[in-house]
Amino acid sequence: MIEPEPPTVTVVLPVHRQADHIGAIVSGYHDALDDLGAAIELLCVVNGSADGSADACRAVAETRTGITVIETGDRGWGNAVRRGIESSTGDLIAYTNSARTSTKDLRTALALALLNRGSAVKAVRRARDNIFRRIGSVIFNLEARALFGLASWDINGTPKVFPRSFDDLLRLEESGDLIDLEFLVTCQQQGYDLIEYPVTSTTRHGGTSTTGFASAFRMYAGAFALRRRVRGASRESRP
């Protein structure tokens, strides 16, 4: 009897100014996912970093199989996610914030996705590391609920995992933080099943967050722009 081929999983890891800790994080992910029963591909997408992050990722890739380093001069969370998705080969595709995601939370997301191959999976953070991030997140989630009718209380929570058959998620367009909102709007519009699971870890592995008041206001304004784009696309698709 011929044994079936194991499923393949691509994990996209955007990397930005994380030279001090990214090597240990990627090594930890690689080791923790080794016995999931799937062929794991880790894509380290180093975007707009000149601090040695790429060298740190390459050092790990030289000692472990299934790790690829992609360098791009384009900054932006969405740009890195899109570049990784474009380069992915897995039956399942995941992306996550490598500065904050614990090995346990990434493993849980992938295990859920492997058990529910016809669904997307995303994390919902139950806590934030400071009151300002918590307030900003609540405002953004309320805005998403009002503009798009989204029920999720953590739009930006990662990991996010989806099967390659959800092909509209292969064509996301946002270049910045709004790609997470676009992800959920696309799932809603296309009727893709979505499973949410709770995570409690708020520890940052290292470095400093690039999210501040300016980027938060850009997201608030960008949500309105995304609604206009979505409505325009909907009108154009009508017969």
Torsion, Cα of 105, 106, 111, 112 (10° steps): 70
Confidence of residue 175 (pLDDT cuts 50, 70, 90): very high
Residue 15's pLDDT is 96
Residue 104's pLDDT is 95
Point out the least confidently predicted range of 27-36, 153-162, 208-217.
208-217
**230 pLDDT higher than 70:** yes
Residue 50's pLDDT is 82
Residue 73's pLDDT is 85
User: For the segment 206-220, what is each residue's pLDDT rounded down to a tens digit?
Assistant: 655 556 667 788 889
**236 pLDDT higher than 70:** no
> What is the chain's mean pLDDT, rounded?
90
**136 pLDDT higher than 90:** no
Confidence of residue 186 (pLDDT cuts 50, 70, 90): very high
The amino acid that residue 50 corresponds to is: A
| Ranges of each domain in the chain | 8-234
When pLDDT is averaged across residues 159-184 and rounded to a whole number, the result is 97
Confidence of residue 193 (pLDDT cuts 50, 70, 90): very high
**Rounded to two decimals, what is the model's pTM?**
0.92
Q: Does domain 8-234 have CATH number 1.20.1530.20?
A: no
The residues, ordered by sequence, that sit 6+ positions from 134 with a Cβ below 8 Å of its Cβ are 127, 128
Distance between CA atoms of 222 and 46, rounded to whole angstroms? 24
Q: Would you say the C-alpha torsion 101, 102, 105, 108 has a positive or negative sign?
A: positive
